[in-house]
Amino acid sequence: MTLPRCSSQNRLGRLSAIGALLFVLTGPAASEAGAQIKPLADPTTARMMQRLQALSADSMEGRRSGSPGAAKARRWIVAELSTMGVKPAGASYEVPVALRPRGGGPDTLGANIVARIPGTKGSGPVLVLSAHYDHLGVRNGEIYNGADDDASGCVALLTIAERLMKERPQHDVILAFFDAEESGMVGSKAFAAAPPVPLDRIGLNINLDMVARQDGGALWVSGTSHTPGLKPLADAAAKASAVPIRFGHDTRDLKPGDDWTNSSDHAAFHAKGIPFLYLGVEDHPDYHKPGDDADKVDPAFYRGTTEFAFGLLKRADAALEQIAGMRRH
């Protein structure tokens, strides 16, 4: 989410000490992933945690936009999509994004990752499911791994994509992994300015940003105050959820910072009149700090938020023609 943990060197001893446990739980492919100290109940949850560890590993160098770490994260996400058979939405998975020049580095070019899962109808409105893969990089020798913010959203997208490849949606689902959210939603604004389909075909954006931490005990859904017609659909998904779901953070009467309408990549869609639903947890002690590591995540809660997101998407897919008619003009 847009808006600073022990150092990388100090973490290495802890990671190696429990590496054997991770090997037993998730297998040799998790060797780079790091520490997972909570028991994992099933293969899907284990795979999610393995992916979360990999995308938020020290070797990704905090995924700062324009950095080698961000490029490595892109290659990792693209490889995951390719392996599961998800095709790019255009000629390439990567769509270049011009970054804002910043001090301390030549980071002037980044890229969104945009893929598409075809719907069975073959026409009509499309749904954009999004998360951002960038984070804050390395500051004063400490790596800001951003496990919750927002490796968690990216891994949730990958998990949902695997299910959609087996349970095809009615409408096309565009998977958007945005760059440069942390520097002003640059990637999502570029997407909205030049989308892979005509803008008027985008019926809904579901944006996941910080969906893994249970510190506040609930996942929040924002956006229904802007598009009240989405509330019954979201309520139905909430009733089926294994984790507590709360609604709010999307009205102007809130104190500064509590209205999340423009706090993440859904803002670019909202600005175009496109309905959105934003899923995220409230700030926790490691928000934008070096302590946002995957070993702070409760796997059961994280699996629950991802299952909720999948259920919400399926309900939205079934009603997408009606939702598309809720656009602001």
Q: What is the mean pLDDT of residues 204-220?
A: 96
Q: What is the mean pLDDT of residues 24-53?
A: 61
Q: What is the mean pLDDT of residues 237-266?
A: 93
Q: Where are the alpha helices (DSSP H) in the chain?
A: 8-17, 19-26, 43-55, 68-84, 152-166, 186-193, 231-239, 266-270, 299-318, 320-324
Q: From its phi and psi, is residue 77 left (phi > 0), alpha (psi between -120 and 50) or beta?
A: alpha
Answer whether residue 13 shows pLDDT above 50.
no
In 3-state terms, what secondary structure has residue 180? coil
The model's pLDDT over 68-88, given as tens digits with 9 standing for 90+, comes to 999 999 999 999 999 999 999
pLDDT number for residue 21: 30
Answer whether residue 63 shows pLDDT above 70.
yes
Nearest to 180 by CA among 315, 63, 60: 63
Answer whether residue 124 shows pLDDT above 80.
yes
In 3-state terms, what secondary structure has residue 321? helix
Answer whether residue 26 shows pLDDT above 60.
no
Answer whether residue 151 shows pLDDT above 60.
yes
Contact between 206 and 276 (Cβ < 8 Å):
yes
Domains detected in the chain: 62-324 (3.40.630.10)
pTM of the model: 0.88
Reading the block at residue 1, the tokens are 């989410």
What secondary structure letter does DSSP report for 294? G
pLDDT number for residue 108: 76
